[in-house]
Amino acid sequence: MRLYNIQMNFHTNIWYLVKTRHQMERVAEINLSNQSIEYFLPKFTNGKRIGKPIFPGYIFIKPKSNNTFQSIRSTKGIYDFIRFEMKFATLSDLEIDKVSEAVMLLNERVENIKPHKKGDTVYIKSGPFKDFNAIIDRYDANNSVIVLINFIRSQQLVKISSEMIC
């Protein structure tokens, strides 16, 4: 049970780390945005789609001086501020910029791992469909690729290891 009655003014140049309710990062994003509270939720990207949070259950916020501790804690999707004893977990703008840059680099590297894009024609170099040409449909999370193969006068979606194509 959380029994706090903290009256405080936020420093407007500091980012605070808050815990979100279980799998409610997106809800927290929407509600923080509705309150004009700046936030940062680092996410993996999957192509052009925004993916899963890198730090599930956590979001960085930069409240304005007129925001109150209680109003943020009562925001739908937010559970509480992260503290170490009574000291809030905070980051500077520079530290958030570094995290943001690291997230961008991470997402670029993940994209480069997948050398083929949807619609690319590839050659299957091994396995039961060796010597077939296929069209990339999508990548699977398990280092597999879903390809479209012309097989027995029809097109079939087939899941194969990404190592089997070139």
CA distance 99 to 17: 13
Residue 76 has pLDDT above 70, yes or no: yes
pLDDT in tens, 33-52: 999 999 999 998 765 556 78
Does residue 90 lie within any of the structural domains?
yes
Q: For residue 27, what is the DSSP state? A: H
Calculate the CA dihedral of residues 20, 25, 11, 97 and round it to 10 degrees: 130
Judgement on whether residues 71 and 137 belong to the same structural domain of the protein: no
Across all residues in the chain, what is the average pLDDT?
Answer: 85
Burial class (CB in 10 A: 0-12, 13-18, 19+), 84: exposed
CA distance 103 to 94: 14
The model's pTM is 0.64
Supply the pLDDT for residue 1. Answer: 47
Judgement on whether residues 144 and 88 belong to the same structural domain of the protein: no
Judgement on whether residues 65 and 97 belong to the same structural domain of the protein: yes
Does residue 89 lie within any of the structural domains?
yes
Q: Which residues 6+ apart lie within 8 Å of 53 measured at CB?
A: 25, 41, 42, 43, 44, 59
Supply the pLDDT for residue 86. Answer: 85
> Total structural domains in the chain?
2
pLDDT bin (cut points 50, 70, 90) of residue 84 is very high
Supply the pLDDT for residue 128. Answer: 86
pLDDT bin (cut points 50, 70, 90) of residue 2 is low
Judgement on whether residues 78 and 149 belong to the same structural domain of the protein: no
CA distance 90 to 106: 23
CA distances from 130 to 39, 62, 69, 121, 156 (A): 49, 54, 62, 14, 15
Residue 4 has pLDDT above 60, yes or no: no
Please give the residue range of the domain that contains residue 145: 121-164
Supply the pLDDT for residue 66. Answer: 83
